[in-house]
Amino acid sequence: MGFRFGANRSDGSGEHNLRRGVLYLSIDNDFKDYFPNPIKTIISSAVSSVSGIPQSDIYQNLQEPPDSAIGDYGWPCFSLAKIKRKAPPVIAAETAGIIKPHSIIEKVSSVGPYLNFTLNQKATIQTVCENIFAQNEKYGSANIGSGKTIVIDYSSPNIAKPMGIGHLRSTVIGAALKRIYQYLGYKVVGINHLGDWGTQFGKLVAAYRRWADQKAMDDDPIKELYRLYVKIHEEAENDQSLEDESREIFKRLEEGDPEITALWRKFIAISKLEFNRLYNLLGITFESEAGESFYNDKLEHTVKFLEDKGLTKISREALIVPLDEFKLEPLLLKKRDGSSLYGTRDLAAAIYRYETYKFDLILYVVGVAQTLHFKQLFKTLELAGFEWAKDCRHVSFGWVTLGGEMMATRRGNIFFLEDVIEQTIARARAIISQGNPDLENPDEVARKVGVGAVVFSDLAVRRDTDVSFEWERMLDFDGQTGPYLQYAHARICSLIRKYGKEPDGRADYSMLKFPEEFSLAKKLLEYPDKIKSAAELNEPYIISAYLLDLAGLFSTYFQKYKSPADKIISDNSELTKARINLAWCVRVVLKSGLDILGIDALEKM
RNA sequence: GCCCCCGUAGCUCAGUUGGAUAGAGCAGCGGCCUCCGGAGCCGUGUGCGGCCGUUCAAGUCGGCCCGGGGGUACCA
For residue A563, what are the contacts with CB-CB under 8 A and spacing of at least 6? none
pLDDT tens-digit readout, A280-320: 999 999 999 999 999 999 999 999 999 999 999 999 999 99
- Of A406-410, A413-417, A560-564, A586-590, the poorest mean pLDDT is in A406-410
Q: What is residue A520's predicted lDDT score, i.e. its pLDDT?
A: 97
- How far, rounded to the nearest angstrom, does the alpha carbon of residue A60 sit from its chain's CA centroid? 22
Q: Which of A118, A185, A218 is nearest to A522 (CA)?
A: A118
For residue A218, is pLDDT > 70? yes
Asked if residue A535 has pLDDT above 50, the reply is yes
A176 neighbors A284 (Cβ within 8 angstroms): no
Asked if A213 and A231 count as a contact pair (C-beta separation under 8 A), the reply is no
State residue A412's pLDDT score.
66
Q: Are the C-beta atoms of residues A529 and A128 closer than 8 Å to each other?
A: no
Condensed to tens digits (0 to 9), the pLDDT of residues A357-415 reads 999 999 999 999 999 999 999 999 999 999 999 999 999 999 998 877 777 776 667 78
Split at pLDDT 50, 70, 90, the class of A74 is: very high
A254-266 residues labelled b (16+ CB within 10 A) or e (exposed): beeeeebeebbee
Give the dihedral of Cα atoms A44, A50, A52, A57; nearest 10 deg: -20
Q: Is the pLDDT of residue A158 over 80?
A: yes
Q: Protein A460 CA to nucleic acid B27 C1', in Å?
A: 20
Q: Residue A283's pLDDT is what? A: 95
Sign of the C-alpha dihedral, residues A325, A329, A333, A339?
A: positive
Q: Who contacts A36 (Cβ-Cβ below 8 Å, separation ≥6)?
A: A140, A142, A528, A529, A531, A532
Residue A95 has pLDDT above 80, yes or no: yes
Task: State mean pLDDT over A575-590.
Answer: 98
DSSP code of A340? B
* pLDDT at residue A508 tops 50: yes
Is the confidence at residue A8, as pLDDT, over 50? no
For residue A121, pLDDT over 70 is answered with: yes
Cα dist from A153 to A4, A157, A189, A364, A532, whole Å = 21, 11, 8, 5, 21
Mean pLDDT (chain A, rounded): 91
Residue A20: predicted pLDDT: 36
Q: Strand A361-367 to strand A149-153: parallel, antiparallel, or no bridges (unpaired)?
A: parallel
Q: Which residues pair with A331 in a beta bridge?
A: A321
Cα three-residue angle A232-A257-A214, rounded to 5 degrees: 45
CA distances from A569 to A472, A506, A546, A575 (A): 38, 16, 26, 8
pLDDT at A7 over 80: no
A322-325: which pairs have CB atoms within 8 A and are 24 or more residues apart? Answer: A323/A376, A323/A379, A323/A380
Q: How confident is the model at residue A165 (pLDDT cuts 50, 70, 90)?
A: confident
Interior CA angle at A417 toward A415 and A419, to 5°?
A: 75
Q: Would you place residue A199 in the very low, low, confident or very high pLDDT band (cuts 50, 70, 90)?
A: confident
Quote the pLDDT of residue A408: 72
Q: In chain A, what percentage of residues exceed pLDDT 70?
A: 96
Residues A50 and A61 sit within 8 Å (Cβ to Cβ): no
Residue A246's nearest nucleotide, by CA–C1', is B75
Nearest residue: Cα versus C1' of B34:
A563
Q: What per-residue confidence (pLDDT) applies to A104?
A: 94
The pLDDT of residue A472 is 92
**Is the pLDDT score of A16 beyond 60?**
no
User: Which three-class secondary structure string do you get for A43-104?
Assistant: HHHHHHHHHCCCHHHHHHHCECCCCCCCCCEEEECHHHHHHHCCCHHHHHHHHHHHCCCCCC
How far is C-alpha A355 from the geometric centre of its chain's CA atoms?
A: 25
DSSP character for A184? T
Checking each nucleotide's C1' against the CA of A485, the nearest proves to be: B39
β-bridge partners, A393: A363
Model confidence at A13, pLDDT cuts 50, 70, 90, reads very low
What is the model's pTM? Answer: 0.94
Grade residue A604 by pLDDT with cuts at 50, 70 and 90: very high
Find the nucleotide nearest A406 (Cα to C1′).
B69
Instruction: Give the CA-to-C1' distance from A62 to B57 in angstroms.
Output: 17
Question: Measured in angstroms, what separates residue A605's CA from nucleotide B40's C1'?
Answer: 13
Chain B: nucleotides under 7 Å from a protein CB? 3-6, 12-17, 19-21, 23-27, 34-42, 56-57, 68-76
Query: Distance (Å, rounded) from C-alpha A282 to C-alpha A369?
Result: 25
Instruction: Give the residue from A509, A384, A576 showing the smallest Cα distance to A120.
Output: A509
Q: What is the rounded radius of gyration, in angstroms, for the C-alpha atoms of chain A?
A: 28
Higher per-residue confidence, A235 vs A140? A140
Q: What is the pLDDT of residue A223?
A: 86
Residue A444 in this model has a pLDDT that exceeds 90: yes
Judge contact between A538 and A363, C-beta under 8 A.
yes
Using DSSP's 3-state secondary structure scheme, residue A256 falls into coil
pLDDT at A12: 26
Q: What are phi and psi of A384, to 5 degrees?
A: -75, -5
Q: What is the DSSP letter of A403?
A: T
Give the residue with minimal CA–C1' separation from B11: A473
Name the nucleotide nearest A66; use CA and C1'.
B20
Q: CA A318, A319, A323, A324 torsion: positive or negative?
A: positive
Among A127, A105, A200, smallest CA distance to A157 is for: A200
Mean pLDDT of A41-49: 94
| Gap from A369 CA to B70 C1', Å | 6
Q: How far apart are CA A191 and CA A151, in angstroms?
A: 7
CA of A342 to C1' of B54 (A): 43
**What's the confidence (pLDDT) of residue A313?**
95
ipTM of the complex: 0.96
Judged against a pLDDT cut of 80, whether residue A214 lies above it is answered with: yes
Q: Residue A15: pLDDT band by 50, 70, 90 thresholds?
A: very low
